[in-house]
Structure 1
Amino acid sequence: MWSVFWQSLLFASVGTIILRLGGRKSISQMSVPQLAIIISLGTILGGQVSGKGIGKTILVAATFVGFLVVTEWITLHWNRAEKALKGQAIPVISDGKLLVDNLRRLRVTVDDLEKRLRMKGINRIEDVQVGTIESNGEFGYSLMPHARPVTMGDLEKMIKENFPQINNMPHSVNDNNIFKEVTTNSHSKDVPNQLH
């Protein structure tokens, strides 16, 4: 019984290390080869329970991850290989109009596309200048000029053009933001140590 525990602990550790080496993408951001490798790793590591042997299991898992690393390297260096192995973005909306043939090719219904639009906060198909289904299944888009939100840069430009008497607009600088701890490797003093 203890041997099963230690073997399980070993495989959980090895699986974690191998997946860590494999990358940080979530399932929705994975390419087809990455997802296939992750599923295969789960099968391999789970197959150990049926008595395949520790050494063989680790070797097979490492082989799959090696394949993934080589695949990623190849796709970084050759565009054709990237298109063949990972796919490419397919436009589904152009100038506010659905590209029905591309939707059929992707087997995406209009209802599914509308769900993706709603999840991005887009109310109307007509407001989308270009909409794509990316190779990882995510929806990419660019809004029509009339539907784009105003940025701080746009607002500052409008104020400077319409109110020239305002020379310097005060910028709200907040040094206490969540990115500071990542860039400076220091934590906020307001958070207890055990939660860092």
Structure 2
Amino acid sequence: MWTIFWQSLLLASVGTLILRLGGRKSISQMTTPQLTIIISLGAILGGEVSAQGIGKTILGAATFVGFLVMTEWITLHWNRAEKVIKGEAVPVISEGKLLVDNLKKLRLSVDDLEKRLRMAGISKLEDVQVGTIEDNGEFGFTLMPHARPLTMGDLEKILKANFPQMNIPDSTNQDNIFTEVMTGSHTNKVPNQLH
């Protein structure tokens, strides 16, 4: 019985490592061959456990779920473990220019990146101040000042400039969530266990 537990734990670890090395596309962004490989990998890993009988199969499945819960708990409490297990955001655009070396590391073509830009409603690469591929494969970005839509902060500046007698509180902040990706450190107050 303990053999099934340790084999399941080993298979879950190896499966996680293989998927981690495989890349960072979410299921919705996978091509048919990539999805086929993921499903096949699940069948191969599961087949090792399922040929053992119902009790041992349940133990194996419980071990896989336990492994998932354990890795989520570990990544919630240790930032370094989160980076190793889940990965981290990788910048692919900076100041309107492609970061080609990072695209190569991610095995992401310019055409794939352009597809993500179009899906985000961005028509020019030059309009992107910072673009990242997040650990889940999604595209994150912030636009250059000239390409950003009008915000409350912009409206406040206009009102203050044109109506100085109005008391309008300042709601702008220079740091944002992309600062962490570009500098590698948190700029806001986040409890250590939630990095």
TM-score band, normalised by shorter chain: 0.5 to 0.7
Please give the TM-score of this superposition, normalised by the length of structure 1: 0.56
**Identity between Structure 1 and Structure 2 (%):** 80
Q: Deviations over 1:2-47 (max 9, x none)?
A: xxxxxxxxxxxxxxxxxxxxxxxx8459xxxxx9xx9699649x86
Q: Distance in 2 between matches of 1:129 and 1:57?
A: 50
Within a 5 Å distance, the mapping from 1:11-160 to structure 2 comes to 27=27, 43=43, 52-159=52-159
Quickly say closer, same or farther: Cα 1:39–1:75, change in 2 above 3 A.
Answer: farther
Which SS does the other structure have where 1:84 is aligned?
Answer: helix
How far is 1:157 from its partner? 4.5
Following TM superposition, by how much is the alpha carbon of 1:80 offset from its aligned partner in structure 2, in angstroms?
A: 2.0
The CA RMSD measured in Å over matched residues stands at 3.6
The residue type equivalent to 2:100 in the other structure is V
| Matched residue type, 2:102 | N
**For residues 62 and 88 of structure 1, what CA distance do their matches in structure 2 show?**
28
- The superposition leaves residues 86-127 of structure 1 with CA deviations (integer Å, 9 ceiling, x where unpaired) of 111111111111111111111111111000000001111111
Matched residue SS, 1:136: coil
The SS at the match of 1:142 is: strand
Which residue is 1:13 aligned to?
none
Contact kept in structure 2, 1:28 and 1:137, CA below 8 Å:
no
Q: CA deviation at 1:84?
A: 1.2
Q: Is the 8 A contact 1:93 1:131 kept in 2?
A: yes
Q: Secondary structure, in 3 states, of the residue corresponding to 1:91?
A: strand
SS in 2 for 1:140: strand
**Closer, same or farther: CA 81–106 of 1 in aligned 2, 3 Å:** same
Q: Distance in 2 between matches of 1:167 and 1:95?
A: 35
8 Å CA contact 1:127–1:147 kept in 2: the answer is yes
CA offset at residue 52 of structure 1?
A: 4.8
Is the CA contact 1:41–1:61 (under 8 Å) kept in the aligned structure 2?
no
Is this contact kept in 2: 1:92–1:102, CA < 8 A? yes
The answer for unaligned runs of 5 or more in structure 1 is 1-25, 30-34, 169-196
* Secondary structure, aligned partner of 2:70: helix
Residue 57 of structure 1, CA deviation: 2.1
TM-score between both structures, scaled by the size of structure 2? 0.57
Q: Distance in 1 between matches of 2:73 and 2:118?
A: 36
Regions of 4+ moved over 4 Å: 26-29, 38-42, 163-168
Measured in 2, the distance between the counterparts of 1:151 and 1:100 equals 31
Amino acid at match of 2:61: A
1:184 alignment counterpart: none
Work out the CA distance in 1 between the residues paired with 2:28 and 2:75: 19
Unpaired runs of at least 5, structure 2:
1-25, 30-34, 169-195
Q: Who is 2:187 aligned against?
A: none
**Rounded Cα–Cα distance in structure 1 between residues aligned with 2:167 and 2:81:** 53
